[in-house]
Chain A
Amino acid sequence: MFKYQFDWTVVTSGQYAEWLLSGIKVTFELSLLSIVLSFFLGLLIAVMRMSHIAPIRWLAHGYLEFFRNTPLLVQIFFWYFGSYKILPKAFNDWLNNTNFEFAAAVIALTIYTSAFIAEDIRSGVRSIPKEQMEAARSSGFSYLRSMQYIILPQAIRLTIPPLINQFLNLTKNSSLAMTIGVMELTYQARQVESYTFKGFEAFTAATLIYVVISLIITGLVTLYSKKILSPMKAH
């Protein structure tokens, strides 16, 4: 048996630690941006899914079934390798001058996660008593305004725990972005491993960092829901 020499300094100092740090930064940017976008997109899809207008409802339903039932990796590859064939040239030129890998990853993560978020929000809305909608409508609010001011604020409060789950899934899923060359945390850990052959250290460090990032995101969402959204006592 060979003896493995542990060397934690490869992940705590020097150039390799800097790689990991920059990976953390990219993972954070990728995750937070996609979380915010997927939340609002999910909200939109949820409202469309509950529309009184049948074609809008069908469209949202189709979107949900389509994106929930395809592997995220395929979607990432689609946006990275496939989408430029259908996009206008000017748009492609612009994309190539920006960080196209990053953009493709954000688009894929956002769309994929929004499908799950939409379903969570919808079940939150369904658990709000229908009398709340009646009260809002009888004050003269339109259906959409009733949703905006009365139903969704309550539904989203109830949806916070499943939303946190979706945000954490998104954060962990962001590691798939390495496959298209986004230099996020997993990508950098892999780099460290291939330069140093210290795979145990590199991926242990990455694992722990993911735990910390997830805890931070959970903390941020919880803090936001406690402090910013005003308290709602039980019905």
Chain B
Amino acid sequence: MIKFQGVHKWFKKLHVLNDVNLHVSPGEVLVICGPSGSGKSTLIRTINKLEPIDKGTLIIDGMDLSDPKTDINKLRAEIGFVFQQFNLYPHLSVLKNITLAPIKIRGLSRKDAEDVAMSLLERVGLADKVHSYPTQLSGGQQQRVAIARALAMKPKIMLFDEPTSALDPEMIGEVLLVMQNLASSGMTMIVVTHEMGFASEVSHRVAFMDYGIILEEAKPDEFFKNPKHDRAKQFLKEILSPMH
């Protein structure tokens, strides 16, 4: 479904992605973790070309991202992206946030798009917020609307870039729950997160990154019980017991 082969990227002199090789199969849930500045956000943003790569190949759903014939807008429509800062459209109601792309890009009728939006809002527990505006919602609610907005396009892949990092602690659970349900429905997901609970319970595989390199890839059990790389050991120690 997603295939990185020898992918490199530089920001000026900074080598942010260094020879990344990564395969994600349909229905798989991959968590990417690592210290801040390790390149994990850049990695996930290359998948829908929010960040172009400088070297290597990146093939998404059979389409080569470097091929000039690849219609990037068409590909992006198949990939849901959930941002750390939600990025809902503040001038549109919750309903319009969700129906805009299905109507304008997929060509759905307003009625059909609204039906889809309502069932998604029920799924994320926000059916009563349909006519609210984003700034009237809490962070957790905004993020759930953002997930519904991405799902309304019926994507083949969902990408989450630190979806709970901007949330107050009491709102993290509601968002993770929505993501967990999505994972059990068989969605292909890549999640950049520090939520190790989510990684160990929901994901199928964990990739640990630092210095733009994927240092370790393992099943969650293995990764948490027996991390191989020193940087991974230290990262887990810091994130699981930050006081020591």
Q: Is B231 an interface residue (CB 8 A)?
A: no
Contacts of B81 in A (CB 8 A): 135, 138
Q: Is the CB of A234 within 8 A of B135?
A: yes
Q: Pick the contact of A141: B48, B83, B105, B149 (CB < 8 A).
A: B105
Closest chain-A Cβ to B122's Cβ sits at a distance in Å of 21
Q: Please measure, in the bound complex, the distance between the C-alpha atom of A33 and the C-alpha atom of B114, giving whole angstroms.
A: 38
Residues of chain A at interface, number, CB under 8 A: 25
A115-141 residues with Cβ-Cβ distance < 8 A to B are: 129, 131-132, 134-141
Chain B contact patch, size range: 20 to 34
Q: Is B12 an interface residue (CB 8 A)?
A: no
Q: Please measure, in the bound complex, the distance between the C-alpha atom of A136 and the C-alpha atom of B87, giving whole angstroms.
A: 9
Contacts of A129 in B (CB 8 A): 87
Q: Is the CB of A140 within 8 A of B105?
A: yes
Q: Is B100 an interface residue (CB 8 A)?
A: yes
Q: Is A66 an interface residue (CB 8 A)?
A: no
Q: Pick the contact of B50: A134, A230, A231 (CB < 8 A).
A: A134
Q: Is A232 an interface residue (CB 8 A)?
A: yes
Q: Is the CB of A145 within 8 A of B76?
A: no
Closest chain-A Cβ to B129's Cβ sits at a distance in Å of 14
Q: Please measure, in the bound complex, the distance between the C-alpha atom of A235 and the C-alpha atom of B90, giving whole angstroms.
A: 7
Q: Is the CB of B87 within 8 A of A233?
A: no
Q: Is the CB of B50 within 8 A of A153?
A: no
Closest chain-B Cβ to A133's Cβ sits at a distance in Å of 10
Q: Pick the contact of B101: A141, A157, A232, A233 (CB < 8 A).
A: A141
Identity of the chain A residue whose Cβ is nearest the Cβ of B74 in the assembled complex: A140
Task: Digitize A39-71: 1 where CB-to-B-CB distance is under 8 Å, 0 elsewhere.
Answer: 000000000000000000000000000000000
Task: Digitize A222-235: 1 where CB-to-B-CB distance is under 8 Å, 0 elsewhere.
Answer: 00000001111111
Closest chain-B Cβ to A129's Cβ sits at a distance in Å of 8
Q: Pick the contact of A134: B74, B83, B88, B92 (CB < 8 A).
A: B83
B59-118 residues with Cβ-Cβ distance < 8 A to A are: 73-79, 81, 83, 85, 87-93, 100-101, 104-105
Identity of the chain A residue whose Cβ is nearest the Cβ of B96 in the assembled complex: A230
With contact pairs A137-B50, A141-B101, A231-B133 given, residues A131 and B87 touching in the complex (Cβ less than 8 Å) = yes
Q: Please measure, in the bound complex, the distance between the C-alpha atom of A21 and the C-alpha atom of B60, giving whole angstroms.
A: 68
Q: Which of B50, B101, B135 has the most chain A CB within a 10 Å cutoff?
A: B101
Q: Please measure, in the bound complex, the distance between the C-alpha atom of A230 and the C-alpha atom of B132, giving whole angstroms.
A: 12
Q: Is A37 an interface residue (CB 8 A)?
A: no
Q: Please measure, in the bound complex, the distance between the C-alpha atom of A231 and the C-alpha atom of B91, giving whole angstroms.
A: 7
Q: Is B136 an interface residue (CB 8 A)?
A: yes
Identity of the chain B residue whose Cβ is nearest the Cβ of A145 in the assembled complex: B104
Q: Is A218 an interface residue (CB 8 A)?
A: no
With contact pairs A134-B50, A149-B100 given, residues A139 and B91 touching in the complex (Cβ less than 8 Å) = no
Q: Is A150 an interface residue (CB 8 A)?
A: yes
Identity of the chain B residue whose Cβ is nearest the Cβ of A140 in the assembled complex: B77
Q: Please measure, in the bound complex, the distance between the C-alpha atom of A177 and the C-alpha atom of B169, giving whole angstroms.
A: 64
With contact pairs A137-B50, A140-B73 given, residues A132 and B85 touching in the complex (Cβ less than 8 Å) = no
Q: Is the CB of B136 within 8 A of A233?
A: yes
Closest chain-B Cβ to A98's Cβ sits at a distance in Å of 39
Closest chain-A Cβ to B100's Cβ sits at a distance in Å of 6
Contacts of B83 in A (CB 8 A): 131, 134-135
Closest chain-A Cβ to B71's Cβ sits at a distance in Å of 10
Q: Which 6 A-B pairs have the closest CB atoms?
A: A140-B77, A135-B87, A233-B135, A138-B81, A232-B91, A139-B101
Chain B residues in the interface with A (C-beta under 8 A): 48, 50, 73-79, 81, 83, 85, 87-93, 100-101, 104-105, 133-136, 149-150, 153
Chain A residues in the interface with B (C-beta under 8 A): 129, 131-132, 134-142, 145, 149-150, 153-154, 157, 229-235
5 cross-chain CB contacts under 8 A:
A132-B89, A139-B77, A140-B74, A154-B91, A233-B136
